[in-house]
Structure 1
Amino acid sequence: MRKTICVLIVIGLCAVFSSVSAQDIVRIANETATPPFNFVDGNGKVQGFDVEIAAALCDVMGVKKVDVIQDWDGMIPGLIAKKFDAIISDMSITDKRLKVVNFSQSYYDEQGLFLARKGENIDFSVDGMKGKKVAVQRATTFANYIKGIYGSSVDIKYYETPASQILDLLSGRVDLILASDVFVHKTIKTKDGEKLAIVGSPVKDKKYIGDGVGIAVRKQDKELLENFNKALDTIKSNGTYDKIYNKWFM
């Protein structure tokens, strides 16, 4: 009997410590490959808009933030497998993703822009795009857009990161890049970017691009989702969000 009681006490203590741990620490996945949203600086430190938003939210929530670097195409599988607790990494809210995870309210409205070599005259009709080589990051809303709009008429080239597409565009191995507006604007301000130009119209189609960027959590983590939403309301109302936004985008 005494042995049974001891076992029950140990189990109870483990449950308590597990609960406390879950509340005190939030592991946040980040790709660190899409500046200025997320990247690793010269000192090996994770930086960017997403990173500072995550830090501000965790501060409001009173929890410790732990960064987990994760390749993009393993983001949602990693979340479901409990490798981390949330994704704050420029992830758009789409119907397809909502089938497997929950999202917070949007904290950023994203659109896509096409980037080409200067002097290129691009016809964005289905016939005009026939045979074009288009670079996109694997498993993104932009990849879904190109596939959905142009299908087999274009040659879609998949990349692990947005930055890895630039060299192939400059060398002529691809004709176009479709990426986030922030990444594209940042790119054209670089030395290599002087040889490139934004072409076509911004891509805003919600069917593919989604309803803004949100924080992804597992379906069962409803309390964590509620805490993130409350924290987002707080940083939007107290000026913290605007301060972070202006630092990285203005």
Structure 2
Amino acid sequence: MRRRTALAATLALPGAVRALPPARLHIGFAVGYAPFSEVGSDGELQGFEIDLAKALCERLHARCLPVILDFDGLIPALLSRKIDAIMASMAVTAAREQVIAFSAPYYYSPARLVAAHDSRLNVSPSGLRGKRIGVERGTVHERFLAEVFKDSQIVRYGTQDQVFLDLKSGRLDAALADAVIANFGFLNKPEGRGFGFVGPDFREPQYFGKGIGIGLRKVDAPGLGRQFDQALAALRGSGALKALNDRYFSLDLVSPPR
């Protein structure tokens, strides 16, 4: 209970409150995705998406409270009104747009396979036939593997950290994840020594969508969704979004790909 209270305080922002958006917004996060969202050694939430959520809520004059869920539980929680928005590196895809609405994208990143340096994998559907590939359940990466690498053994996990743990232990031949999450959450850490990216960037729009956006209920798109878009545009126009990008990344993730 104490941990939950401490985490909730992380995004609490003082100041004026307006009727719209709601005085309190519950934002769904899936932690364990450095440097986007993770629990620090002090028990507090930290990362790019955490800081972006704070900046957006400040512009909206709303008190934002984090709700930590597994990734595949985020959309059900949104639809059942347990949370008001999702900020969890969720790609804007046509399939998801049938169910929920999205803000404008706030960052863009390809998917990559990660494997041991000495794996010598042939990254193709035929080359990975029978290979064990780990992926987080409920993600666009899972759907991509299931449809494109259908002859591989797809091993599904509740969190990305669990994927990397089994990759490190040798129970997987490879793992598919967002390139930045894989780089910062595994490859740049001691446990990622001996591993690296294999194969090409995967950007197929039918799987990986238009970028990463804030997930919203469709009924909230004209109101809260529009206000998130305006706040994002203001942060982009002022240079604050790029400054936040540069605090965490050595590459530009927030500018739309050309």
SS at match of 2:101: strand
Amino acid at match of 2:243: K
- TM-score, normalised to structure 1's length? 0.89
Report the counterpart of residue 146 of structure 2 in structure 1. 147
Q: Is the contact between residue 30 and residue 70 of structure 1 (CA under 8 Å) also seen in structure 2?
A: yes
Q: Which one of 165, 173, 176 corresponds to residue 175 of structure 1?
A: 173
- TM-score, normalised to structure 2's length? 0.86
Report the counterpart of residue 135 of structure 1 in structure 2. 134
User: How far is the alpha carbon of 1:57 from its aligned partner?
Assistant: 0.7
* 1:1-150 alignment runs, 5 A limit: 20=19, 23-150=22-149
- Ranges of 4+ aligned residues in structure 1 off by more than 3 Å: 19-22
SS at match of 1:34: coil
Between Structure 1 and Structure 2, which shows a larger proportion of helix residues?
1
Unaligned 5+ runs, structure 2: 1-17, 251-258
**RMSD across aligned C-alpha pairs, in angstroms?**
1.4
Q: Is the contact between residue 34 and residue 161 of structure 1 (CA under 8 Å) also seen in structure 2?
A: no
Unaligned 5+ runs, structure 1: 1-18
User: How far is the alpha carbon of 1:70 from its aligned partner?
Assistant: 1.4
Structure 1 or 2, whichever has the larger Rg, is 1
- For 2:75 and 2:165, how far apart are their aligned partners in 1? 28
Percent of aligned pairs with the same residue? 30
User: How far is the alpha carbon of 1:103 from its aligned partner?
Assistant: 0.3
Size of the aligned set, in residue pairs, is 231
Report the counterpart of residue 219 of structure 1 in structure 2. 218
User: How far is the alpha carbon of 1:46 from its aligned partner?
Assistant: 1.1
After superposition, give the CA deviation of every residue in 1:187-216 in whole Å (9 maximum; x if it has no partner): 222112121121100111111111100001
Report the counterpart of residue 207 of structure 1 in structure 2. 206
User: How far is the alpha carbon of 1:21 from its aligned partner?
Assistant: 8.3
Q: Is the contact between residue 21 and residue 60 of structure 2 (CA under 8 Å) also seen in structure 1?
A: no
- For 1:49 and 1:198, how far apart are their aligned partners in 2? 22
After superposition, give the CA deviation of every residue in 1:122-141 in whole Å (9 maximum; x if it has no partner): 11222211100000000001
- For 1:167 and 1:83, how far apart are their aligned partners in 2? 30
